[in-house]
Each structure stands twice: as C-alpha cells, then as structure tokens.
Structure 1
Amino acid sequence: MAPPELHPAVLQNVALTVRPTTGSALALETKVLDLEPQSDGSTTLVVAPPPGLDPREHHFDATLAWTYPLGRMECTVRTRPARRAYGEVWLLCPSAPATRLQERAYFRARIAVPVLLTWTDLDAEREPEQDPDVEPEPIDLAGVVVDLSEGGLLATVPRGSRAPAVGTRLEATVRVDDEDLAQPATVVRHVRFASGGIGVAVAFAEPRRHGDRLRAVVFAVERRRRSRT
C-alpha cells in the first residue's frame, strides 16, 4: 500500500469516497480501527462502516485519502464487510500503491477554531410583497474548522443547517487567538462525515491576505502534534 510510516494511524480519521452500484459517489469520513498486515506485504485497514450505509455492502471502486506530516496521501481500495470482536467493520484492501497528492499547494493541519460563513442567496425566491430592488439579507452560518491551510478550510456545520451550495461566493471569517481573519472564498465541495454531520470546504480567493498568519498557526499545530508522538 505504501511504506509503513505512511499508513494512516489507528484511530486516525480518513476520507473515503465510495461509488455505490446505484446513485452518485459519496464522500464520507470514517476512522481507522486497526491495521492488519497481509502475507503479500500489503496492509488491510479495518475501518468503521459510515452511518447510513449498508455495512454488508461491497465496493470495488473506492478511494481512501488521509493526511500525514508531509502532505496528503491517496489510494484506491476495495471494501468488503467483516466482523471483529468490537462489531461490524469494513476491510479496505489496496488495489494500487498509495500516492502523494501533489496538487495541494498549501500545508494543512487538523485544528478546531470557530468560523463564520456569510453569503447572500441571490437565487432565493422572493416573497410577493418584497421590493425587487432590495437585496436579500446576508446569511450567517457558524461552524467549526476541522482542517485549515492558508489556501482554504474544511468546516463542520450544525445538522439541519442550510449550507451554502457548491460554487457559492462568500466571506469566511476564521477566529484565531481572539483575532478575526476575514477573506472572500468559494465553496468547492460538501463532505458527509461518518457522524452524520455536514462539512463545507472552501477555497480562499486571496490566500496571501492572511497567508502568513494562517501558515504560522498551521505549522504550530503540527509541531505540537509531532512533539506528542
């Protein structure tokens, strides 16, 4: 799959894209429960079946992605159901060697800080009595950043909230050390977490605006993480 030091760690959250036999691909997040070395030198990952999906389903075309100190790795896998002492699981078997994703231009780190997403829904239907010349009120959505870089972020938002659509231009205000760092951004994708929550990924339109500040925060988080290992 990859050199052992590049495997996702036990209890690490990983991204899993599965392609069911019917319907579109699903971007999910799950957790590695165990690593099982195989006789051919590969490693099978034992992960928790994402909620809402049939834990007994097979997937012959799936993609696993995870972060490590030098960037982000990706590997194509097959999934098959199994059972371990702690319950039903999915076994992820690599179908090709893992590769480092080179398209990431910025170093990222997992971090939990508040974020406020603000946008105007210009496509929303107006009430009959509304003045057509009056712009709609801005929409504010508070969330928590779970992955941050100077080029963008991934935030989890409350269940049931109205997330901005992919392609929406908005203002993302990240709060770091009692400082509000606001900048324009665009929603690039939605993520469905294994917990059932929704993630909103945005790319900053002007990465240099707060690039130095965010880069320092991300590197500090990674240094602290590595000092504990």
Structure 2
Amino acid sequence: MLNNKEYQFEPVPKNSLVVELTKRLLDYIFSGSIRPGDKLPTERKLQEAMQVGRSAIREALKALTVLGIVEVRQGDGTYLKKLDSALLTQSIEWGLLLGEKHMMDIIEARKEIEISIVKYAAERRTPEEVQQLGEILERLKHSTLDNFVEHDIAFHLKLAEMAKNTALKGVLTSLQSLLRTWIKCVIDAAGETSFSYVDHYNIYKAVSEGNPLQAVKAMEAHMGDATSRLINEIQKDEQLEAEPPV
C-alpha cells in the first residue's frame, strides 16, 4: 500500500513520459491521499505503480522539486511541502510542470522580467527607495546561509516596487515561492553567499546611480550566473538512492 489512503496509479504511456508522470503526481497530490508534510512513496514504489523507468520518475520529481512543491531530504525521502495555491494554479496554467523544456522556459522568462524591472528601477527610483534598497543590501551582506534567501527575495521585490510597473511587480510577486526554491537550491549547492552578494551590489550601484544600461548589464550577469548554477543542480543526479524495502 502506497499510503494510509490507497491511491491507484495507472500505467503511463511512453509518449511524453515526463510530462505525463508530472501530471499523474499532481493528481496524486490533489487526490487527498497525501497531505503537506507527508512522505511520498519511494522512487521504487512509484516506478512499480506506474510501470516506468526510475530515471523518468526522477525527472518528474525534479520538476516538482524546482517548483517548490516537494522537498527531497537526503537519506530520508521526498516530502510534500505546504502548497502555495495561487502559485500552483498559475504554474499549471503556464505549463511549468511539463518537464525540463518548460522549466528552461520559465528560467528564461524570469531573466527577461528581472531585466525589465531593473531598467525601470534605475530610471524611476527615488532617493528614499535607493536608501531602502541599500538597507536590504546591507542585510544581505551580513546574512547567514539560513536567512540569505529571504533578503535576496526582498531585494528583487524592492526593485520591482521601484520600477513602478504594476504588471511586472505582480508577476514577480506571484513567483515568490518559486524564486525561494531556486535561490535556496543555488545557495545550498554553493555553500556560501559572497558571489551572490557581489552580484547584488553591482545591481544596487547601477540603480542608485540612475544608470539603466549598467543596471541591465549587472542583472544579466547575475541572472546568467544564477541560471547556470541552477541548471547544473537540476541536471545532477541527486535523487535518493533506492530505499530498502519496507
């Protein structure tokens, strides 16, 4: 039995395997068979239930992990996180849960959103806003690994506020949970934050000086670095080894 509440998985067609697996896992999550904080079935059990290879199961779990829906605890298992329903609804509507190609699409989209935001922020910032951004940067500088993510997100959301474009701010705000997962993934893998602080300082300097061209260059460098680190983590085979039969 997969869980206290039995959920019947069906065999998955071979076409669009990862896409279909991700959908099936979401169906499982929405079925009520599992609640936030509960442990998902092991890769082996999912493999047997849906009659697919373990590599396909891992790719589908990667999609859910990057989106912050599930959490892999090394040596323990995969757990359902507390869901942000607004984020999840948008994610499904945008097709973000449909495999690696779509993950790359949203990574690319975030880059373009951030670049547009920082350009307008440099053009439209006020002295008070620059001071507030500097205060966030200072907190970022003295952050630990545990609280860096929250200050990082605060920095980007402040830029969105400074851009004075409600549509761009709304999009970035709706992605908070997703950004939190991505940033944590990158920082945890690096084990330190100095590289990210330098990126943020360069962005702050350009914005504070009212230089949109330099601000865009600084954001492009930051997004390029963060994206390459994230992609490296996505592509790593870090999923759990097979657990002993239970």
Task: Normalising by structure 2, report the TM-score.
Answer: 0.27
Which fold has the larger relative contact order, with Cα–Cα distance below 8 Å and residues 6 or more apart in sequence? 2
If each structure's strand is expressed as a fraction of its own residues, which one has the higher value?
1
If each structure's helix is expressed as a fraction of its own residues, which one has the higher value?
2
Task: Normalising by structure 1, report the TM-score.
Answer: 0.29
